[in-house]
Structure 1
Amino acid sequence: MEEVCHEYLGSISANGELEHPLRRQLHAELQRALGQDQWRSYVTLSTACAVKAWPVWGSRFTEDLPFASPCPDATPENPALSLTEHRSELNVLNTFLDNKMRLGREYFPAVAAGLACWAVNRDVLAGGFLAESELGEMDMDSEDWDPSFFASVAIAGGAVWEEFGNSEVRRQFWHWYLEDAVPRAYSI
């Protein structure tokens, strides 16, 4: 598994991005190599990404999300979110985050951290990958972005196509993802 992940390190672009089609390919390759459904591993990985981005939320907001916040003792190594089982509550969370987005550009990274948590809950309720396409995030509806992408936006301070994101911080996130988070999640 570590060997497969290591191969993807070279796929991180010059601006620090591990693009969506490559992440989907990585998950498919790991699932084939491990010979069984890896949905649980994907959820664990997504949760780790959301928990890693959570401090960005705390840098701007003092309250937790109404649903899907990290559990009090959660860490990227031991990730856990307080998920809702009700789509209506997930819709409430989406509206809550949309309202936070209206506060201004300086809040966008923090909102992206909240959206990473929301996206984990969305995927769990859907019971599968929402974005099966091979499109990159720029060509997808933002509500279809995966939790790891939202986490990278939060941590880097912006999306790869925005001038205010930090490419080196983004690259470090994807290195952590490939070298630590993916192997840990897929070894469960």
Structure 2
Amino acid sequence: MKYSETINSLIRKGLNEVNHSINGHLPLSIRREILQTINEPCVIGKISISCALKVYPIWNDFFKNDTEIIGLIKQSEKFLLGQINEKELLGNAEHLEVFVQDYNKEDNIMVMFAGMTDVHAAYDVLTSGGMEECVSDEEALQNPDTWDTAFIASLAYNGGAVALDAINHDRNKEFWNWYLTDCIRIAFFNDKLPYPPTTSIVSAKYFSGNNIKEYRTQPNIWKENAECRSRMNDIKGILVKIMDITHWTKSDFYFYHVGTASYTQVFYYKGNELVKFNLDINISMYLSRKVEN
């Protein structure tokens, strides 16, 4: 299929959604609509491979002088060109998927997502990159088995956070703007995909050495610790009382770490409008101590 005005219109729709979204997210429904409109296995495969190349420097920065994952990316491109068979690519992808999943740990989750992007790109070129029609945006976010290659790449690019309320919004917006512009155009118009140079590039440096940026980590001890659950219920009771007084329709409470610092945030809803509730510093410190203790 040629790069049509219909595709252009969907890209504009996607850019409008991303740039007006609080978290810079491109919904699955729009991603699916774009790929279904393209409906060309070779172009869709190149989009997935471009996503893999976008986050490959994160993997290579962790595994210096990597040959296996970059080899899988090159094999995926060769498969699109009819230069290797399905059995060869599938066997290598399955082998590397097991290897990458071994890094599904909190400290390495960004690296794991980068590696899984490459593996999923290989699967995409084998299956023509189809998406499940019946899966909604909300269901997809809750089920990692439904995550598409571009979404996994976005998780790697913004630091490895899984929940949309915990991601780096600026990096997420940057990724989806790239996806809707450069990535899709490369897939349509470039015969040669943009393999990274042998030297370190910005995407890798952003997460390495002295340039490392700390992201939110969500403590989950409350799931296993009875005392912590009790304290969380105390906090819930406080918020319920506030809601009764203020007539909020709903309240969200977030507690997270960035490096060694702890943070609490409370949001409330006035009808359908989400509003941040600016806690007094003493209350914020009190709630943080409640959770940490």
Cα deviation per residue 1:69-97 (whole Å; 9 max; x = unaligned)?
Answer: 444xxxxxxx9578883334322111101
CA–CA distance in structure 2, aligned partners of residues 127 and 2 of structure 1:
21
- Where does residue 32 of structure 2 map in the other structure? 24
- Where does residue 14 of structure 1 map in the other structure? 22
- Where does residue 34 of structure 1 map in the other structure? none
- Where does residue 90 of structure 1 map in the other structure? 93
Distance 1:105 1:24, change over 3 A: same
CA–CA distance in structure 2, aligned partners of residues 89 and 153 of structure 1:
23
CA–CA distance in structure 2, aligned partners of residues 81 and 11 of structure 1:
34
Distance 1:133 1:39, change over 3 A: farther
Distance 1:67 1:126, change over 3 A: farther
Tell me, yes or no, if structure 1 residue 126 matches structure 2 residue 127: yes
Distance 1:66 1:3, change over 3 A: closer
CA–CA distance in structure 1, aligned partners of residues 164 and 62 of structure 2:
20
Cα deviation per residue 1:22-46 (whole Å; 9 max; x = unaligned)?
Answer: 1001222x33xxxxx4221111111
- Say whether the 8 Å CA contact 2:24–2:172 is kept in structure 1: yes
In the TM superposition, what are the counterparts of 1:75-86 in structure 2 within 5 Å?
80=77, 85-86=86-87
- Where does residue 153 of structure 1 map in the other structure? 155
- Say whether the 8 Å CA contact 2:23–2:167 is kept in structure 1: no
**Aligned Cα RMSD in Å?**
2.7
- Where does residue 102 of structure 2 map in the other structure? 99
- Say whether the 8 Å CA contact 1:108–1:158 is kept in structure 2: yes
Q: Which runs of 5 or more residues in structure 1 are unaligned?
A: 32-36, 72-78
Greater RCO (CA < 8 Å, at least 6 residues apart): 1
Distance 1:49 1:66, change over 3 A: closer
The AA in structure 2 aligned to 1:129 is G
Cα deviation per residue 1:69-128 (whole Å; 9 max; x = unaligned)?
Answer: 444xxxxxxx95788833343221111011122xx3121111111111100111222344
Q: Which runs of 5 or more residues in structure 2 are unaligned?
A: 1-6, 191-293
Normalised TM-score (structure 2): 0.52
Q: Percent identity?
A: 24
Distance 1:173 1:53, change over 3 A: same
The AA in structure 1 aligned to 2:106 is R
Normalised TM-score (structure 1): 0.77
Moved over 6 A (4+): 81-84
Higher strand share: 2
Higher mean displacement: 106-115 or 4-13: 4-13
- Where does residue 74 of structure 1 map in the other structure? none
